[in-house]
Structure formats: C-alpha cells, structure tokens
Structure 1
Amino acid sequence: MPATEFQSSFLGRISIRRNQIASMDGHHEQDLEDLDLFQKHIADRFAELLSPSSSSDDHRPQDSLLSISWLSQLLDVFLCCEAEFKAVLIMGRDPSQISKPPLDRLIPELLDRVVKALDICNAVCVGIESVRHYQRVAEIAVFALEHKPLGDGNVRRAKRALTSLVSGITTEDKDTGGNKSTERTWSFGRRGGSGAPIKGGPTGHFRSLSWSVAKNWSAAKQIQAMSTNLVAPRGGESSFLASLVYVMSTVVVFVMWILVAAIPCQERNGLATHLPVPKQLSWAPSLIGLQEKIGEEWKKKEKKGSAGLLEEMQRIEKLSQCLVELVDSFQFPLEAEKEEEMATKVAELSATCRKMDEGLMPLQVQIREVFHRIVRSRTEILEALEQAGKVSAPAM
C-alpha cells in the first residue's frame, strides 16, 4: 500500500475511534493498537526504501539508494510518519496525559531534536544549491564536447570545466566542511539561486553558500546532539506514549542523518555511521539495513568533505574523471574509437544532468515542506502542553 494510503487509512481510523471511546480502559487498549499499527507502518515504509525493487508497482523504475528520487520517497515517508505520530499523540487526547512523567522530559527532548532538524533542513537546502552548481559546470563541459566539429578550443573549455568540477567535488576542506571547495569553481559563473535559509526571504542576487549557516555550525555535531539520550524507554518509563515519542525521535534523527550523508553540508567530519537502534524492535531491521548500506558507502567513498553520497553526484564525479583522462589523450584528428568513447561518456553525463535538473528543485521544495510541517507540529504540541499546564494549575 502506498505511503499516502497508509496515512489516510490510519488517520481516518484514529479520528473515528477517538469519537467512539467511552472509557479509559478501552482508550488504553486502542492506544496500544495505534502504537502497533504506527510501528508496522514505519517498518513497511522503510523496508520498501531498503528494497525498492520489491514494490508492487512493476511499472515504476527502481530508485537507486541515495538518488534524488529515492530521497524524495524518504521525505514522503517522513511526512506520513510525522502526521500519524501527531494524530496519535494529541488527536482527541486529554492534554494532561502528555505532561506527566516521563513525557514531561521526553517531549521537550523531542521538540529540541526537531529544532535541530530545522537547522539541518536549512543546511541541506544550501547544499542542494551547491549540487545545482556542480550540475551547471558539468553542463558547460557537455555543451563544449557536443559541439560539431569538435575543435581544440572546445576541448580546452571542457577540460577546464571538468577539472574544476572534479577538484570541487573531491577537495575536503575541514574548516568549512566543503563550502570553499565549491566556491573555487565559481569562475564559470552562477545565476542567483535559492540557497538562502528557509526562514529568510527569497534572494534576488548571489549570496555565498556559507551565508545562511554559521561558520562554527557542524552538521556532524548537530546529528550527534540529536542522538544524545536517544534510548528506548525501559522499566517504569516504557509506557505507550513514551514508546511512541521514542519511535518518532528515532525517525527524525535517522532521516536527518541520511540527508546530511547524501547532500553537501557544512562540517561533516566525524559523522557517525551508526545510530543506536535496538535490534529487537519490530521496525528496527529496515532502519538498521539502511544504516549499514549507507555506512558502507560512506566508509568506502570516504566522502567526508564536499560532495556527499548523492547517487547523481557520484556518477558525475566518475564520468568527469573519465572524460578528463580522455581529453588529456586527445590528438587531432581524433581516432574514431576515441571519438565514440567520448560521445558515450558525454551522453551519460548529459542524461545525469537532466535528471538533476528535473529533480533537484522539487527535492528542495520537499525539504521546505518538511521544515514548515515540523514548525506547525511543534507549535501544536506546545499548545497542547500549555493547555495541560492551565488545567493542572491550582485555582487562586
């Protein structure tokens, strides 16, 4: 069942049930059912992300792990999980239930994590803008190498673009987490982008990629801070609501960790490749499986600097390196074999650029949607807590 169908069915069920509840005993039983169903939805959705080829829709092309389209699915999953979590937590519920121990500690910790997630959304939007820049530089090389007849001037222009692109992708700058390596390639020019933070207004002119992120901000440290005290409730704290909050906290941290691993973000040195998820939980296997796959890619590629693990960026890097080596060996007139090899690589690079051109802007829009959804949900939870405080306040 698609994520949106999961969500509409689940939310409808909760809405109807809340109106029919007559006793606290029945309420408790239904809460446990809601928790079980919520965890099942998480397990199923992330299992599909782990093995997209198992989708029931045979006509949909398989999305590669960490590709633009795969990240778009990940954000859809997050939005569905977030909506269901909020419905179970506060829809038709006595607000006093979410202000009692251990919720009086766990919910503020969750709200602190989502504030940090907002910072990551901003940083990732800036990172997408740098990816779009790499795409434009690759398009310069494609345009030069597709020129007919191909002359020495076209080859030199393409080589400058490709060398600049490869240098920008592979350079690791520990001081800025990769932003300087991106800015080194600005010699080819750049149109005004939308890399400004979401909370700011639209930009009508060029701004440095580091403008919207503080110089001492670290994506790796942000993820580390979000995962602090992220432990499953035990003993007297293992109530239904405590478990619900823990599950959602884990999803928030996990999704933000994937975004930071995939998209260029400031200061990712030391980004953890493992997040604590108890293996015995029903939804854990799919998250652990994704963690292991992404962690292997992170260690194998050693992309701790500017480029990230975005599948399209990895492909652009590989094709650009191949083309640099190829144009270095050019002697005019070109041999038919070398010309054919170059045409094949250029066609692949052009196709990758088209995918990025079609997918990056919608992905940026999705991240903004995640940002604003988190803000709204945080406000609604704070309002519920405020209402609970008024109810429990002693009469004067």
Structure 2
Amino acid sequence: MDTPHDCKSVEEIKEALQNNNQALAIAKIQEYLDRQNNIPLNIAITGETGSGKSTFINAFRGIKDGDAGAAPTGVRETTKKPTPYPHPNYPNVTLWDLPGVGGRHFPADQYLSDVGFEKFDFFIILSDTRFRENDVKLAREVQRMKKKFYFVRSKIDNDLRAQKRSQREFSETETKEQIREDCIQCLQEQGIQSPQVFLVSSFELRLHDFTLFTETLERELPEHKRNALLFAMPNISQEIINKKKKAFQANIKWHAIASAAAAGVPVPGLSVAVDAALLAGVVTKYAVGFGLDIPSLENLAVSTGVSLSDLTAVLTSPLAAIEITADLMLSVLSQCASTIFLLAAEEGSRFIPILGIPAAMILSFTTTYRMLNLILNKLADDAQRVFEKALDTTK
C-alpha cells in the first residue's frame, strides 16, 4: 500500500507526462524511487552480556566477525553505548548494537530511555540460555511503549553439538523442541503471555528458525517498511530470492516510464544513452540484491567453503559477477535482436511528423520494460543456482 506521499508523487508524475514536461516527469519518478529505496529501518539488538548480539548483527549484514565494519565481539561487554551498524549495501537499514540489559551502566528500569527507544522500529531480545528477569523487564517496557519485540534464543548450534556429544540417541528435532519449551515456560512463569521464541545460529542462518523469524518480522512490519527488511536480508532461502524478484519487478514500470519520458525529448540518440545509464543503475541494484556482485560472491565463498570459481561457474547471465556500466549495457542491448529492432524503430519514428514522438515514447517504454524483465529473470535464476551450489556443499 502506497503512503499518501507516494500517491501524491504518482499524481505529479502523471500530470507532468500529460503536460509533456519530460524533465519534470523523470525527476519525479527518480524522487519516488529514491524515497522507496531509502525508507529507514532501525532494528535494536539487545540482551544480556555475552548473548551474541554483535555476532548476530554481523551475520545479518553478511559480514564476518573481525571484518572491517563488523560489530566487535568478545567475552566481555564490548558495547558501552548504542552503536549503529548500517547494512553495507542498504544503508537505510541499520542494526543497533545496544549495551547489555542490566549492565552496570544501563540498569533495566531505565534502559529504554537511556538508549532512545523511540527511534527503533522493533527490538530483538537475545539470550544464549534461559531468558532472565532483565529480558522480561525489557520486553514489558517495550510492550508498554507500544513497540514490537521478539525473543531470539541464540547459539543454538552450540547446544546441539553439546547434546549430540552427551547423548547416545540424539534427535535434533526433539532437542530443539525441548530448548524452545524450556524458554517459553521460563517466560510464562515471569508473566509473558503466549511468548514466541525463535532458535537461531548466527553461523547457520539458513537452518533452524531464522527463516520463520524473518517471515514473522515481514508480516508484522508496516507495509512500507517490508521491502527495506527484505532487501537487507541474506539470501538464505529460495523464497527470499523469489520475494526480492517480485519486489524488483513491481518497480519496472516506473523505470520504463522514465525511459519513455526521455524518449519524448526530440534529440536523436538521447533516449538510447539515457536507457543505457538507467539500465546500468537498476541492474546493479538487482545484482547486489541477489548477492551476485563480486564482494557478495567472495563473502559467500568464504562462509560456505565453496570456491569463488565454483560459484561463478553456475552463472549464465553476462551481468553477474561483473561491474555493470552504461557501456556494458549498450553491449548487452546490441546483442539482442528484438531490442535492436525496437531501438531502431524508436529512433526512426522521431522523423514522423506529429505522431513520431508519441510512437518513440511507446517503443522506448516497451524496450526498457522487456529488457528489465528479461535481465531480472536471468539474474534471479542465477541467484537460485548459486544458492543451490552453496547449499549442496554445506549440507
């Protein structure tokens, strides 16, 4: 659902096009898309000292502990004040590493006011054991302030390994259910009604409850903030890749309208140049969102143990694992016979009196719309292949 501001922008775009003000239409379209891409999302990560907050933040952002820009980790409390960690590819999404609840400098009864609770969209309360009194106090305060909170039982991989070593007949499913029930019972005893607890390993996000957790967040977030969360999420399932594809697809019409508006300017060759630059910017976002840019693939290779060459071997699109430029997009456009025909027809139509410019605009819209859909489909397919390759090796 669009916000009132978005609805106003759409009306302004339509008005600019109806008045043949192509420059204003392009500017308004870019403003609309930029606003959608920069919706802020602030996530608070809190819990007692040693609960794994920093490692969770790093894993969510696709950064390893110790990397440049990573949240510092350690057995002692390393967070002395609320510290923001913007997502490396989506800086509008910020995960905040908050000091441990009940620490010497942040007593539980004044914790929320001290950390500035009002700026956060929701709170994630982590614990690597049972949830304790301070966790419950915080949850109650967050609820009183009419904010969402979620209990995440971290380091579940450590518990499973320990139980597997100590039990002759080990069942991962039964062990996880026992840990979950233990956490729920503990929270209920402290007055939390119908608590939901997600079991997560920051080193194995695709396993356990992380997918269910992200689906819950997505469902409960305001609609205009869902894409911000979606694009920032790591590609840990085929479902997330499909959701990203649908979100990208929803904006293709606006890029195509911007292309059509540029075609309405009676300057030969201008539309093609604008299209190439526009496509380069949009396709770069596709590649980054699907984790097909070089840095993302390198990080995936390190985290999964699959070589970069093995990951890139399954790619089929010439726009994956490469720096995308306007010149590269012109090259890709020139290799598609139907696109060459449409571009030639667009340029030729400009010389037709009266009807030439409207025809050029329609052809430009069609070319951009078709190309972006084609490219998006190929990159989404590549993302699925890379995911499956990494999954096969990490099973």
TM range, smaller chain? under 0.3
| TM-score for the superposition, normalised by structure 1 | 0.27
More strand by share: 2
| TM-score for the superposition, normalised by structure 2 | 0.27
More helix by share: 1
